[in-house]
Amino acid sequence: MLRYTLRQLEYFVAVGEAGSIARASERINVSSPSISAAITQLEAEFGLPLFVRQHAQGLSLTEGGRRMLEQARLVLREAGGMLDIAAEISGNVRGPLAVGCLLTFAQLVLPTLRRGFEAGFPDVRLRQHEMNQLELISALRRSEIDIALTYDLDLPADLQFTPVVKLPPLALMSPQHPLAQQDSVSIDDLKDHPMVLLDLPLSAGYFLSLFHQIGKPPVIIERTRDMAVMRSMVANDFGYSFVNVRPLSDTSPDGNPVRYLPVSGPVRALRMGFLTAQDAERSNTVRAFLDYGVEMVRSGRLSKIGGTPLV
């Protein structure tokens, strides 16, 4: 007879992915004592330690814990499949939903999208994950997330993309930059000026590709994987950079002003949209989230991200 619950497995997976009970508690909005008790009960039931307790570094999975984590994810996916079948038969939208979002714009889009969706579908238990492009693709293929909001950057053929907004690049620079007072800038204008590269997987390749038209690479003065650090370095006049989604504030995280200029000439715009597995829309919950996101763009309630709606 089974003496553990799906909820205990959910807590175990959350801790395994987060690396600590505290971070898992924040992610799934469950108290740390409840999560800790669930882990202890699972370890007693399975008769093996799932984690090595490292007070300074948090928790790390044991070899047995890693194998059990893979199986727990499989069990939860299969259980979710049963909910999908029930929802399809009944027409209800309910159950767990794991949503991924590209970390460069998650703060501008995901909270608004999530709040409205959860208000409309209170029986859905939504978990969010902020990742880079390669991590999103991998998580979708492993069924760790159900749907992702991202750009059309090197998308594989085995996943399905629904574009919703077209977003051309913007040059980001300090007011002291020599080009900052222009109405727009071209890639040729920028070629000899120092650049702070947002060095994320696939995103960096896109920004560098903007220079292919002139046959000359940019003058990269610094690289960072953190959007906030990039904006602050630009605001402190280390160099310019690029973004496709413009924050509402013209101030960097350290309080200095920045300017956003359109990039003129034949530059590739990115498309923001929803990425799913090919058969994901068989799930009522995934389909409802996708439809809700499309309607948010169509109605203008996500107009703060700018760009041209494609729906």
Same structural domain, 220 and 291: no
Same domain, 148 and 233: no
Supply the CATH number for residue 86's domain.
1.10.10.10
The domain total for the chain is: 3
Regions of the chain with pLDDT less than 50: none
- 117's tokens: 């969706």
Same domain, residue pair 99 and 155: yes
The pTM of the full predicted model, rounded to 2 decimals, is 0.72
Given 73, 91, 109, the domain boundary residue is 91
The verdict on 49 and 23 lying in the same domain is: yes
pLDDT of residue 57: 63
- Domain extent for 81: 1-91
Q: State pLDDT tens for residues 235-294.
A: 999 999 999 998 878 999 999 999 999 999 999 999 999 999 887 767 888 999 999 999
CATH number (domain holding residue 228): 3.40.190.10
Pair (150, 107) in one structural domain: yes
Q: Do 154 and 300 belong together in one domain?
A: yes
> What is the distance between the alpha carbons of residues 99 and 225, in angstroms, rounded to a whole number?
22
> What per-residue confidence (pLDDT) applies to 2?
64
d(CA 79, CA 3): 16
109 in the same domain as 77:
no
- Residue 303's pLDDT is 75
CA dist list (Å): 144 to 24, 72, 139, 270? 15, 11, 5, 25
Say whether both 276 and 160 belong to one domain. Answer: yes
Residue 97: closest CA among 74, 68, 71, 118? 118
